[in-house]
Amino acid sequence: MRAIRVNEWGKSVQVENIPQPKPANDEVLVRVHAASINPVDTAIMAGYMSFMTKIPLTLGTDFSGVVVEVGSDVSHVKPGDAVYGIIPMGSGTFSEYATPKADQVALKPKSLDHIFASTVPLPSMAAWQSLIEHGKFKSGERVLIHGVAGAVGGLAAQFAKNQGAYVYGTDISEKAQHVAGLGIDRFIDVKSERFEDVVENVDLVLDYIGGEFMERSYTVLKSGGRYVTSMSMQTPQEEPEKRGFSSVGFGAQPRADLLTKFAGMADAGKIKVYVNRTFPLAEAQAALDYRLQSKAPGKVVLTVL
């Protein structure tokens, strides 16, 4: 099968023919139709995650496709089912076939084609887990989202608004029109405004940017508030303890029950996802380069079938 391979950290990916995988007892063999690009994929290619994985490897995290075969321990999907999912730091999805584990795959949203479905898994997982599980969000709270126009930030905004939040969101001016369609309450253009001059005493900060935004965010949280970031697994604790709020870093963990939940939300029209541009699998390097350069909202997707 064709697969997009990383053979050297920081170098261009290669299109190679490698053996088609066979699913283990707890795995599903999926014929991939589309696979979207996430920031973690470019980070892996660059070598930033070399301490967690080895080369050569097949790149890719999110996918949508059709089940070909299931392992003996898998019962919630069957051959012929249209599915979607996420394989974090695993066998790779930028390929003609992928082998997610049972808890990494679920029936895809019926209302979305494979291209759009492939944009959902990791961003939704990260958004939901940061807002609900780590952020402990409660209806009516005030939430500040950094990087609100990104795939994760946009879904976090939709999840929060669906549950009664007042949402502030920061991003660049080029994405203001896109953010307006998310229905947030106040957009903050980071090029012309400092969010500290607009926001104060928020209950929850979701930071999908990192860097200086972390310490700056500490100044706008109320006592008893929560800061959550996906940009680091660990965050400084001294300042939050002094100010009386919590600070948590996390990495999204795949769960089939949440994938099923997100599919239902998409089919009910409660969340929307956006596609910037598609590239064929053979043009994966061009797609990765484009994703790093483009300021347009929406995900970049590889079409495989």
pLDDT at 236 over 90: no
CATH number for the segment(s) 124-249: 3.40.50.720
pLDDT at 233 over 90: no
* Diameter of the chain measured on Cα atoms: 57
Q: What is the pLDDT of residues 9-33, one digit of tens each?
A: 999 999 999 999 999 999 999 999 9
Q: Please list the residue range(s) of the chain that carry CATH number 3.40.50.720.
A: 124-249
pLDDT at 89 over 90: no
The secondary element (H helix, E strand) that includes residue 33 is strand 28-36
Helix (H/G/I), strand (E/B), else coil: 23: coil
Q: Please list the residue range(s) of the chain that carry CATH number 3.90.180.10.
A: 2-120+273-303
Quote the pTM value: 0.95
pLDDT of residue 6: 97
Helix (H/G/I), strand (E/B), else coil: 221: strand
pLDDT of residue 191: 95
Mean pLDDT of 209-217: 94
Using alpha carbons only, what angle is made at residue 149 by residues 205 and 89, rounded to the nearest 5 degrees?
80
Q: Which of 134, 128, 136, 135 is nearest to 157 (CA)?
A: 128
CATH of 2-120+273-303, one of 3.40.1160.10, 3.90.420.10, 3.90.180.10, 3.40.640.10: 3.90.180.10
Q: CB neighbours (10 Å) of residue 173?
A: 13
Q: What is the pLDDT of residues 256-291, one digit of tens each?
A: 999 999 999 999 999 999 999 999 999 999 999 999
Q: CB neighbours (10 Å) of residue 239?
A: 15
DSSP line for 49-74: TTTT--SSEE---EEEEEEEEE-TT-
- Cα-based distances in Å from 108 to 64, 120, 138, 274: 7, 9, 28, 16
Mean pLDDT of 137-159: 98
